[in-house]
Structures are given as structure tokens and as C-alpha cells.
Structure 1
Amino acid sequence: MSGPRILCVCSDEGIELFGSRGCSTHLREMCQAFKSLGCVVKLLVANSQGQKDPSFHVEYELVPPVRSKKLGYDLRKLLTNRRFSRRLRELVGQFRPDIIYERYDLYSSAAANIASRTHTTYVLEVNAPLIDEMRGLLHFPRLANSYQRRTFRKADLLIGVSDTICSMLRTIAPDSHVLLVENGVNEDVFNVGVSGEEVRRLYGVDGKLVVGCTGSLRGRQGIDTLVRAASILLSERDDVRFLVVGGGNNLQRYRQMAQDWGLSDKFLLVGSVPSTEVPSYIAASDVCVAPYAPSANFYLSPMKIREYVAMRKPIVASDVPQIAKTIRDNVDGLLARPGDEKDLASKIAVMLDDAALRDRLARTGHERWAGKLSWLNCARRVLDAMKGKVGG
């Protein structure tokens, strides 16, 4: 017997379906996980760009967003929402979903409204405080807040990817059912069997200790702190190389920063790589880092931490609550003070200099979390929470 029919929706034109960023991975993996659990899944997206993933077998359809720069940000979003509304009305009649599962975007009220009118169960996944993130682009923040509040309160289930997001959801929609579902990992892709030998040869780091970091290069990722920590570490030794994977607007700035510090040949910023190649870069690393910047409102659910753990890698990460839930200091990894390059350099050095410590921490984390952080478990938690609600 098949599971529920799920119509997944993502109207955010900034999320490439086949992109290499975490948001793209999250979108693909949740859809794929629902399908793997026996659900019939169809996906509606605003951006299908990126390098096609041959392992992605979910049927998807593109609704082109409004991109005209002559229009303000809010108006573009509202007009894109209208396009999604028209197509969703047709699809609900044709596909007859039991659940509409949406990744939230600003002004994306179409799915909530249509689910309400057709008595279809509506699940809304919220990954970031978008009004705060996009405040510099919003012309009408009060209108965006109004749309957000109404949309949140129409959901049969609100999903937050971190404790901070869940707290925000409970404040905005106090009567709604809120479920914490942190980001997952595809353990068929990220596992101890992946080889990093080709990557090590490609970048000439054979015989060196490699410190690896993956993910987007936004400011909150703490790459500037990592560059400064690398400068401290590399001033004392020549047996270490840093391998940083990820793209974004800050890539050239960090490359210039590394050059200014005289680290160009030792701090390698390789840019974006296809998501299918990320595991080989992690495999090439002796120590993996997640040097997140200090934040009073850390709302991320770091995907890289789960990928490192799945590949049984020793980890040095920023000591923030959302990470400390997974990585216990000196048990599953080492935690450094966020934004403190000296502490980060010290913790990396301790890890590099002690192979037994690296092995112990990596094994403890892997054994503790093996099988528990998968995208399948994420999807299963959503479906379990919806039992008795579907069709209501």
C-alpha cells in the first residue's frame, strides 16, 4: 500500500533544484526521502537550474518566477505567488494530494490558501527568519509580516529546522503544532567508503595534513576566522593545508584575504563543486571544521556537521547550542569559541597532532549518530506527526 500523495512546493527562485548549496540539497533530499518511504511525490519549483543529479527520481515541474528588475522585490514575490496559485489550483485537481508540503518563502501564501479551500493537509517548513534576512530588500516589511503571520497560522503542521526557528514559530503562531526536524544527511552518499585520494592528488596535498571545510561562504560561516586561524597555524608549520569548498559572493574576498596573509598556496578556496563531489572533499580531509561566527540568534541546522559525522571525520566546530547538541566537547569532537581565531587554531592543532584523539572522537560521534541523522528519519518524523491529520 502506497503512502500519502505529497505535493511539494518551493517558490523561492533563489533555490536551484540541482544546486550545490545546502538549501538545494535539503529540497531534493526531503522529496526523495518521502518517495523512498512509499509516498507519491510531485514537486513544484521556481528554479530547476544546476547540474542534474541522476539519483533524483522525483517528478518536478517548473513555474517560472517573475524576475524583472524593474519591479521591486515585494512585487516580484507577489506576482510569482500568483503564478504558483494558478498552477497549484490546477494541480490539486489533477494530482489530488493528501498533503501540500511547502518550503516557506516570503509572500508565498498560495499553497496555504489553496490547501485551506480544498481541505488538503498543509505542512509548512521554515528554514530561516526570512523577514530579518531580507530586510534590506523589502519595501513593505509590515505587509510581509502580515502575509507571514497568516500563512504560518494556516498550517496544520509547522516545521522548524532548529530550536531558534521553532521558538519563532511558536511566538508567531502560538496555537499551531510546531515540530523540530533538523537537517539530515544522505548516508548512501556520505559514508566511510568514499575515497579522497583523487582530490588530494588534484590539489597536491599528498603527504600533508588537510583541514577541510564545506558549505556556502556567507559571513556567518566564519571563514574569515578560519583564514586568521590558518595564518596562526601555518606560521609555525608547513605540514598542513586548508581545503575550503563552497561558493558565494564572498569567495573572491576570502581569496584576496588569504593572498594578503601570504596563504594562497596553503589555504585553498576551491569554489563550488557539484553536490555529488562534496563527499570526496570531506574524505580528503584529516580534520573537518565548522567555524561559525558568533551570533545571538543562531538559527542554522548545520548540514556539514551531519555529513562530517556520517563520514567518521574528526570535527572542530564553533561552540554554539545547535552544534553542541550533536558534538560534545572532547567526546564527539572539539568545540572552539565562535569568532576566536586563537582558540580555533589551538583546537585544530591539538587535533592534528594527536592521531589517537582524532580516531577516538570521530568513532564516538559516528557510533552515537549512525543511522539517526538520515533524511529518511527526517521525512519519517514528518509523516508520523501527520498521522490522523491527513485529509482533515
Structure 2
Amino acid sequence: MKMTKISLFIMPRSSKAWHGSEALWITVGGWAAAAERKFGKAYILTTDRIALPMEVLKYPLGKVPQISKSRNKKLSSFLPTTLITLIKDILLWKTSLYNNFFKYKLPDLENEVSLVWEQHDFFPGIGYKLAKKHNVPFIIYVHAPQVWEAAKWGVKRPLWGRLLEEMETRSLKRADIVACVSSQVAEKLITMGISEKKIQVSPMAVDAHLFSNANPQDIIKDYKLQNKFVIGWTGSFRSFHGLDILLRVFKKVHESINISRLVLVGDGFEMVNIVKLTNELGINDFVVFTGRKSFTEIPNYVEAFDLAIVSARSASDFHYSPLKLREYLGAGKATLAPNAGEIPKMFHNDIHLKLYNVGDIEGTARKIIDLYNDPEKRNLIAAKGKEYILKNGTWDVELEKLINKNR
């Protein structure tokens, strides 16, 4: 009889944290679900509770306070922005899992522990201690070095930023494997002094089990999408997603395809601006804003799409590994994606997906119109994309890669 093993996954923040970046919870849920299938049990540890893989897909739990742009401006009017950043960093440190380890009971570890996985953050969690205790591999997963990425968004941390980056580096050096989402992030990690031998590029992936039984009928009915050509997008309304560009692309598309509809699933700071622009462009009757949806509902929305799109504001220094791209492909949807970062290196244009040049409104619109006019081509790309992602882009595949690297 095969003995059940336990995998431990560490998220150094609370269940309400990373609001607007739910992809981080989806990521740990995907990894943990794969480990559960592989070993038998998986627990996800946060600062306020222990969760199972499927539970974190509904995070953040409870009501999360919204901080509007206007409130941020009011704070900045009497406090320097750098001071606000420093206060936030101190509060994050105080609430980190490292400092709150003993506030709850750990899961029953009567069975053998297989591995310890931790989401990289400004401040380390307890993964290293647990891995040492149970003498198992310690894996850190990095979406991006935190100080480095924040600086790209204009966040300044004079003096203490360097100390934080040194703390990040020490934490990463303790890992047996540093898994990261893209080669661009891997290159940054090497400049930080992380051994290349430890680094494994593990792009965002998809849990195909979640997208295998989707039912879009209620969504199609509720939003009056019957007999429409539905172009869909999911995510957070943030500036770097370039949704204003997507709206202008859609306006061009709708001028040629009057049955086209754009469905935007999500919310965020930029939503007010995007709704306003939709009205200014005169396309408000053809754009659907669904608001934020639980991740467990997303497969049903994606299934309602005829064509899915990954949007972007800029192709320069595109170090992300879009989760939505894998979800679209895993759901068997023909997908447009930016010709940027890892994407053209991992997927073949006109076979797995359709690439477009970021900012080329006319060209992107033309690609969408061409796919509408050629349903056979559209269906072929959808089928090939799904076949590729199920073979190469699931969390189960990524887990096997890490296990093999540690052997």
C-alpha cells in the first residue's frame, strides 16, 4: 500500500492579502493540487489559517477594504510617498508569517513530508525552518524579486530598499530550488547572486481539471451573448494591462463585426477610467463589465468566449508569465497574445495562438477580424493550443520538473 505523503505550501501573508493579485492564490492552489494528486495531501499555511488547495481559489476571504486612488492622493498630500511606503513595509513585516508562526497549530504531520514550497515575498516565511526540520527539499517560487519589480512601478525605497533586497537575496540563497516564472526573472536572480544551478524556470500553468466541466449557458443568457462573437478578457484592471488600448482595438473590430461583444471579467483601480473611456468611444452598449468573480467561476466565463485576448501596455521588459494565457489555452479558446517576453519563445504563432504587436491598434484589430472570418483557422489554433498546454503547461508538469531537478 502506497504511503500518503504531505506537501507544505507557505504563503507569508493572510487570506485577505494580495487583493487584486489573486493570481498568487491561484498559483499556490494549482501547485498544491498537483502535489495532492502526486503525494496524497497538501496544506497551505497563511498567517491566519491553514487551507486546502481548493479553498484558496476563493481568496481573499471576507470583505477586503478598498483603498481608492483619491484616498491615496489624500494621504500623499500630508505624508511623503516614501514615508507611506516605509509604513506599509513595517506593517507587512509585523504581520508576516515568520512573525506569526506560533499563532496557530500546524497540521498533523504523522506522515512523511515530501517537500516544502514557499511563495517569495519581501519577508521570508517559515518554509526554510520546516524543510530543515523534515529534511526535505525547500522550493521558493518567484513571480519577481519584490524590490526590483516595485521599482519598475515607480515605488521608491531610498536606503531601506537595498536592505530589503539583501534580505530577499539571503532568503533565496537558502532554497534548494528557486523556481521562477520567466527567463527574464531568472536573469535578474543571477545578478542578485543566486546560483544558476538552483534556478528552474517554471512558467505559470493551468489546472486543467478546473476547466474541463465549464458551463457558460447562464452567462450567455444573463449578458445577452446569444449569436454574438464574444471577445473575452479576465484579470485585474491595472494600468500595465493596457485595457484602454484593448478598447480602441475593439472599437475598430466592432466597426467591421457588428455582432462582436467585448467581455471584461474583473475589477481594480483602473475600472472607473475604463468605463469612462468606453462611453467616450461610444461602445458602451457592446462592452460587458462583469465585476470581480471568484476564480471557481472563471472557467464558465472563459467558456463563453469565442476569442480570448491577453492585453498589455508595453512589450519592453515584459517579465511576466500570464496565468490567463494558460487558462485560455487550457479551455480550448483561440487566443491573441502580445509578441513580448517569454510568449513568442514558448508558443508558435499561428499554431498555438496568434501573436500581435503591442500598441498596434489597426494590426491587432485586423488579426481579430481575420480570425472571425476564418472559423476553421480559429478552431484549429484553439485545438492546437489546448493540446500543447495540456502536454506542457499544467501544474502537474511543472511539479514533475521540480522533482526531477532535485534528484
TM over 0.5: yes
Separation in 2, partners of 1:358, 1:118: 50
Q: Note the C-alpha offset of 1:105.
A: 0.5
Aligned counterpart, 2:72: none
Q: Note the C-alpha offset of 1:35.
A: 1.4
Aligned counterpart, 1:38: 39
Residue 185 (str. 1) matches residue 183 (str. 2): no
Aligned counterpart, 1:277: 297
Question: Which range is displaced more, 372-381 or 19-28?
Answer: 19-28
Residue deviations 1:8-55 (CA, integer Å, cap 9, x gap): 111134865999822211111111211111154332113669xx9994
Aligned counterpart, 2:222: 202
SS in 1 for 2:284: coil
Within-5 A mapping of 1:287-326: 287-326=307-346
Separation in 1, partners of 2:49, 2:267: 18
SS in 2 for 1:132: helix
Separation in 1, partners of 2:302, 2:362: 24
Aligned counterpart, 1:267: 287
Residue deviations 1:73-103 (CA, integer Å, cap 9, x gap): 2222322347546439985996784533110
Query: Match for 1:41: what amino acid?
Result: A
Aligned counterpart, 1:23: 24
Aligned counterpart, 2:180: 160
SS in 2 for 1:72: helix
Within-5 A mapping of 1:5-16: 5-13=6-14, 16=17
Aligned counterpart, 1:390: none
Query: Match for 2:205: what amino acid?
Result: G
Residue 121 (str. 1) matches residue 137 (str. 2): yes
Q: Note the C-alpha offset of 1:254.
A: 1.0
- In structure 2, do the counterparts of structure 1 residues 286 and 119 end up closer, same or farther at CA, with 3 Å as the change threshold? closer
Q: Of 379, 384, 389, which aligns to 1:359? A: 379
Q: Note the C-alpha offset of 1:141.
A: 0.2
CA contact (8 A) 1:89 1:114 kept: no
Within-5 A mapping of 1:222-237: 222-237=242-257
Separation in 1, partners of 2:287, 2:220: 14
Q: Note the C-alpha offset of 1:237.
A: 3.8
Q: TM-score, normalised by structure 2?
A: 0.82
Separation in 1, partners of 2:33, 2:95: 25
Question: Which range is displaced more, 349-358 or 103-112?
Answer: 103-112
SS in 2 for 1:124: strand
> What is the root-mean-square deviation of aligned Cα atoms in Å?
3.3
Aligned counterpart, 2:71: none
Aligned counterpart, 2:146: 130
Separation in 2, partners of 1:231, 1:128: 34
Query: Match for 2:376: what amino acid?
Result: A
Structure 1: runs of 5+ lacking an equivalent: 63-68, 388-392
Aligned counterpart, 1:66: none
Aligned-residue identity in percent: 21
Within-5 A mapping of 1:9-158: 9-13=10-14, 16=17, 21-46=22-47, 55-56=54-55, 72-81=87-96, 83-84=98-99, 86-87=101-102, 91=106, 97=113, 99-108=115-124, 110-112=126-128, 115=131, 121-135=137-151, 136=155, 138=157, 140-158=160-178
Greater share of helix: 2
- In structure 2, do the counterparts of structure 1 residues 237 and 207 end up closer, same or farther at CA, with 3 Å as the change threshold? same
Within-5 A mapping of 1:306-385: 306-385=326-405
Q: TM-score, normalised by structure 1?
A: 0.85
Separation in 2, partners of 1:220, 1:18: 17
Separation in 2, partners of 1:70, 1:214: 29
Query: Match for 2:337: what amino acid?
Result: A
Q: Note the C-alpha offset of 1:269.
A: 2.0
Structure 2: runs of 5+ lacking an equivalent: 62-83
Query: Match for 2:38: what amino acid?
Result: L
Aligned counterpart, 1:239: 259
CA contact (8 A) 1:34 1:379 kept: yes
Q: Note the C-alpha offset of 1:132.
A: 2.8
Could you list the structure 1 runs, at least 4 aligned residues long, displaced by more than 4 angstroms after superposition.
Answer: 13-20, 52-58, 88-98, 113-120
Question: Which range is displaced more, 119-128 or 260-269?
Answer: 119-128
